[in-house]
Structures are given as structure tokens and as C-alpha cells.
Amino acid sequence: MQTSVASNLLHHLADDSAEIGHASVDDKAWLEELPLPLELKRTLQWHWPTESTQIGPIVFEPVSGIRSYPWTPALLRHQQIPIGFGPNGDAFVCDFATDECNVGFVTHEEYDGASNSRPFYQPTFRTLESYLHLVDMERYVPCDYYDARDFAEFLEAESNHSPFFRHKKA
């Protein structure tokens, strides 16, 4: 994750009424105690929406909302932190177990909010910056767990059957 890229894209994409800035002192202290990668931690502490802010189909939550979300403790135990929600209520989470902190969806229809979230997680974007960049470019972005799962299956089939993606054997 690159804090500067995420910050610049968040500022660029947030509507004029949204404020991107510092979390409260209490929320910064809470984040400081979490085992998050430093770039993710600093992005959430210093360059994050201070109120619910829609960017593309995702509503990003302020740190206070992340902190108070009932699933947060269970997600954190599995190295995920909720950063927003899709239109249907699926949690949009950052997976900090991955080197690049990929982001994706945890389905609200099947996950109970207490157990291991990983079986209910669909990785969707390589990074938060990848999501923001696609929104900025007005490209298609999945908006929930099932859209993300179906799109990943489509892309896999496309890469396996398209002459543009076939690997030539030597």
C-alpha cells in the first residue's frame, strides 16, 4: 500500500462535502495498537474520510465507524479490517495478511460476524489504490461479494480461453 497514492486518490474522488483528514485522537490511539502494516495504519489515521463517504459503489466509513462495527474484532483476528460497505451491506475489507493489503468483500448473507471470515471473503482488488484508480478511470468495479466472485471467475475463464492471454510454449 502506498499512503501518498491512496491519500491523493481519496482527496480527488471524494465529493466536495466529504472531508479526508485525521481520525480523532482516540481513534488514532486505537489504530496504533492494531497489528496493521504501517502504510495502512497511517492512511487510516491521517488520510481517511472523517464521515461516511461514497466513492464509486463503496461507502467508506470513518475510523470511528470501523472501530464500532460489530464484526471488527472478529475480522481483525483474521487479519482483515472493514473499511466500508457495498450497496447490499457486504463489508469491504482490507486484508492485511497480504503483502499489498488487497481489498475485497465479506458476504453479509453468510458470515456470522464471529467466526473465521476467510471462507466468506472474496479478494477483489490488488490494493485499495487499485480500487480507487479504477473508479477514477470510470471502469467497472464489482460492488459486492457475489459480483466480485462472478467477475473473478469470468476473468479467469477469459485468461484461459482468450488468444490474447495464452502463453506460448517454447
Hey, what domains does the chain have and what are their CATH numbers? 3-161 (3.40.1580.10)
Grid coordinates representing 37 are 502494516
pLDDT in tens, 127-157: 999 999 999 999 999 999 999 999 999 998 8
- Cβ neighbours, 10 Å, residue 25: 8
pLDDT in tens, 34-54: 999 999 999 999 999 999 999
- Can you give the pTM of this predicted structure? 0.91
Higher pLDDT, 14 or 116: 116
pLDDT in tens, 71-109: 999 999 999 999 999 999 999 999 999 999 999 999 999
